[in-house]
Amino acid sequence: MQERTNQQWLAALSEPGPEQELALADLRVFLVRGLGYAMADRPRVVDADIEGFVQEALLKILDNLGSFRGDSRFTTWAQKIAVHEAFTELRRKRWESVSLEEMIAKYEGDFTPSVLTDPEPSPEERVSQRRLLDTVKRLIVEELTDRQRQAIVTVVFAGMPTEEVARRMGTNRNALYKLMHDARRRLKHCMQVEGISLEDALTAFETPVGRRSSTHHV
């Protein structure tokens, strides 16, 4: 791969032509090698996957050249974009066979967060957690709109990436964040009416230091 300064990378990639094609070929080799190391502990990721990640990353790099500030080497910046693209795509693939409708149905049926399957909390803690969970579930079903409920259940409880939820719901991340903000504000108000503070709810879903489970924030 030809050595280039940051400015030389930017100049070569900024205009279509032979110089851009050569720079893209060099950058592709660098990114494929870097992603190969980053994905070494993921046996299900094959060479074809890495090539796909890199192709998407190269398009994103070209689209975002103007955001490169020069705080690091250009290749380091480009590699971070490639790694982010790869892990985003891996998260998307993890969820591609799961429908939003299935998640909602599971939550409204017998959805139990991991904190309630932890064998260590005391019986008193478990009763408190279950009571609060039942209250929060009821408020989510009764007080939120369908889209607010979809957003809260899939992102907060199920852990689906926001990018994937936004895509499935036909919206963008900013609109999804606004939807979730409104839903949280509505839930907080309803919990206060029920005599439950947000702090009480979060405390009930924590186990003592040294044996904490996953905490689900509302």
Kindly report the CATH number assigned to the domain that includes residue 151: 1.10.10.10
In a domain, residue 217? The reply is: no
Structural domain of 122: 100-204
Q: How large a percentage of the chain has pLDDT more than 90?
A: 25
Whether 66 and 32 map to the same domain: the answer is: yes
CB 157 within 8 A of CB 141: no
Residue 58 has pLDDT above 90, yes or no: yes
Whether 32 and 77 map to the same domain: the answer is: yes
| pLDDT tens-digit series, residues 131-177 | 777 787 788 888 889 899 888 888 877 777 787 888 888 998 889 88
Instruction: Give me the number of domains the chain comprises.
Output: 2
Region 69-89 average pLDDT = 91
Whether 112 and 182 map to the same domain: the answer is: yes
Q: How large a percentage of the chain has pLDDT more than 70?
A: 73
Cβ within 8 Å of residue 142, ≥6 positions away: none
Average pLDDT over all residues of the chain: 78
Which of 69, 95, 121 marks a domain boundary? Answer: 95
CB 115 within 8 A of CB 214: yes
CB 163 within 8 A of CB 173: yes
Q: What is the pTM of this model?
A: 0.50
- DSSP run (H or E) holding 50: helix 47-63
| pLDDT tens-digit series, residues 91-141 | 777 766 666 666 666 665 555 544 444 445 566 656 666 777 778 778 888
Whether 23 and 80 map to the same domain: the answer is: yes
Whether 79 and 151 map to the same domain: the answer is: no
Region 7-12 average pLDDT = 94
